[in-house]
Structure formats: C-alpha cells, structure tokens
Amino acid sequence: MEPFDSPEEAHFRAEARAWLEANAPRPPAPPIAPSAIVAEWTPAEEVQMLAEARAWQKLKFDAGWAGIAWPTAYGGRGASIVEHNIFSAEEAHFDVPHDALVVGLGWCGPAILLLGNEEQRQRLLPPLLSGSDVWCQLFSEPGSGSDLVSLSTRAVRDGDEWVISGQKVWTTFAHLSDLGLCIARTDPDLPPHRGLSAFVVDMRSPGVETRQIRQMTGSANFNEVFLNEVRVPDSNRIGEVGDGWRVVITTFMFERTAVLSVGATVADAFTALLAARPTNGSQRDRFLRVIVAGKALGYTQLRMDTALAQGRMPGPEGSVAKLVGTLLLADLYDQALDVLGADGLLADGDAPYGGEWQDAFLGTPGLRIGGGTDQIQRNIIAERILGLPKDSR
C-alpha cells in the first residue's frame, strides 16, 4: 500500500469530495475535539449529537457512502480499505456529526463482519450501518479493566438461551444504546482465555440497568451496566462457545487504531492556535516534534491497512499506533494549555474557544485507558515485537 493515490484512488477521492461538498458544510475552524472519544458532551448535547449522527449516517447509507469497505450484501459500498480511508480523510474536513456512533460503526460492526455468521451479518449490520441501531461495548468490569481476561460476568446456557449476570463499567453511551457487544465467562473450569464467549445483548432486555458516571468535566458519557439474569438467544452468540477472546482482540484492534483518524484535525486546530497567540521557540519546536512523530506513525497505519486489504488481521503494530497516537494527542492538548497561558485555567464560556481545549485536555486520559492502557500496550510491544520475556502473571 503506497502513501499516495493511484489514478483510480484519485478519481474516488474527487467523487467523495464532490458528494461531501454538496451535502455537508465546511467547519468555520478545524475541530479541537473531533471525536466522541475525546469530546465530553453534556446530556443535552449527547441527545442532539446522537440524533444528528443518525441522520447523517442515514444520508450516507441511502447515497451509498456508508461502510465503504463493507460488502454490498450488508449495505456497504464494497470498495477497498484504501478507499475507506480516503473517504474518512475527506469527511474529516467537513462539519458532520458522525462520531456519536463510533463504537458500533468503528469497533463492534467490524468484529461482527469478521467473526459473525451469515445470518448475524444480514440481521445486525444493515441497521447498524444505516444509523438505526446504536451500539455499546460491554467489556470492562470493576475488577477487570486492563486484565480483562479475569472478568467475572457469567453466561449460563438454558436451552436455546443464555442467562447473563454481572457488572460492566466505563461503557460509553450505554444509556443511549440499542445493542451491546458483551463478553462473559461461559466455562469457569477452562483456562481464562478459553472460557469466554461473546454475545449481542438487547440493552432494553429485562435485567439490564445502566447508571451514568459523572466525570470531572461534568459530562456523563460513561456508564455502569448491571446485568441481572439477562436472557440472550443463542442466535446472538458471536463465534464459537469459548472463542470470545478472539472477539475481544478483534474489537480492540479497531478501537486501538481509532485515534489515528483524530490527530490530523487536532494538529490543524493547534496550528491555528499558534498563529493566534504569542508563542516562543520552545513551544513551536515541541509542536514540530509531534508533527514529525505523527508523520512516522502514518506508516504504521499503512502497514495495518495493507494487512486488512490482504485479508489478514493486523498484528501488534496496532498497539504501537494506539500507544504513540494517544501520547501524541495528549501532548498536543497539554501544549495547547501551555500556549493559552493563564487563559488555560478558565473554563466554559469564560475560556477562549469556549473551553474546548480544556475539555479535551481533561477528556484525553480516558483515551489512554480505553482499548487497553498504556501499560498493556507496552507489554504487547515488548513481548510480541521486541521478543522480551513475558511480564509475570
């Protein structure tokens, strides 16, 4: 995969840009926190952003611009990973509210596409791709965050159904979701990685309770989710019984690379901030180091895209992308507050730019936890890339 467009790809880029120009406005300025992973919305903003995201997704779906690399049988365009990236890069330059659906479209959907059976793909993917269904990810638990394999949520088979009981936490948008991709332990006697299974849970089922978690920014995007003998049909089991860890790793792979689609527009916003505020040479040099590192990281993205285009799952390079990408993004927001100086201590309407730089700075630590903490990514890099001895378990 090359870092430039072929003639066919250039034609696709022009077509995508023309459609976006005709259907979406340009933002008045580069977005500061363009991702739901970073942005911290109030409850009212959540409802508004979700409604706008579903409307935009439906518009793309009807026009054939949703699921660029997904097969047409499931509502996609049937194009390549490269064309998917081209459309995403072009879309990032427009003021469109698509990111409230990132968990389903970006993480859960691809896992269903790769690991679900044909009936599940036909049933679950078109309403996800059209914006009709909102998804959440029921992975982390109070005692099993970074060490997810130790999770305690249980699923017990009862005929053609499974009865799931347990507690999940840090579940983004669970209170607004229709469906959740849940990992539960189906066999406590097997080794931890082999005793897990994956299920799609209807979030409106009896026994599902969500409680929002208020964060230091004042928002409550995360949730605790309590599962009290929730019944799930076996037809909603993704993959084989005991093969849930593969679903986890697949989902994490897409989650870990999501940050790469965020950094470019944040860099544009920071460039505008530098031009508008008095700065010194040290601040400008620090920003240039981030830009150079970001360009180098782009080649890791190309390697991952090449693997996907060849039908392979990317390997541990996803951990490199996640670790370096989140550290660079956190550094950018830290630099922004440095450039703002005393104004960086203000908030909301009293702060320049409506306090968006401050909100992003406070929201970024969550990005360094989701999809596996920095420490988990370093362990993966050490063991699987550098060949160092495994961490003690």
Positions annotated as catalytic residues are 255
Q: For residue 260, give the amino acid letter.
A: L
What does the DSSP assignment read for 207-241? TEEEEEE--TTS---EEEEEEEEEEEEGGGEESST
Q: Which two three-digit tokens encode residue 294?
A: 């970001």
Neighbours of 229 (CB within 10 A): 11
**193, 168 contact by CB (below 8 A):** no
The Cα 386–Cα 15 span in angstroms is: 43
CA–chain centroid gap for 27, Å, is: 22
**317, 303 contact by CB (below 8 A):** yes
For 163, residues 6+ apart whose C-beta sits below 8 A from its C-beta are 155, 156, 157, 229, 230, 231, 232
CA–chain centroid gap for 147, Å, is: 19
Measured in degrees and rounded to the nearest 5, phi and psi for residue 228 equal: -115, 95
Q: For residue 176, give the amino acid letter.
A: L
The Cα 211–Cα 310 span in angstroms is: 42
The Cα 266–Cα 322 span in angstroms is: 16
**98, 91 contact by CB (below 8 A):** yes
Alpha helices (H) in the chain, listed in sequence order: 7-23, 43-63, 81-91, 102, 109-115, 118-129, 244-257, 263-276, 281-309, 317-340, 356-367, 374-380
Q: For residue 119, give the amino acid letter.
A: E
For 194, residues 6+ apart whose C-beta sits below 8 A from its C-beta are 187, 242, 245
Q: Which CA distances in Å does 140 have to 166, 170, 175, 273, 388?
A: 11, 7, 16, 36, 27
Nearest-CA neighbor of 168 among 155, 150, 157, 152?
152
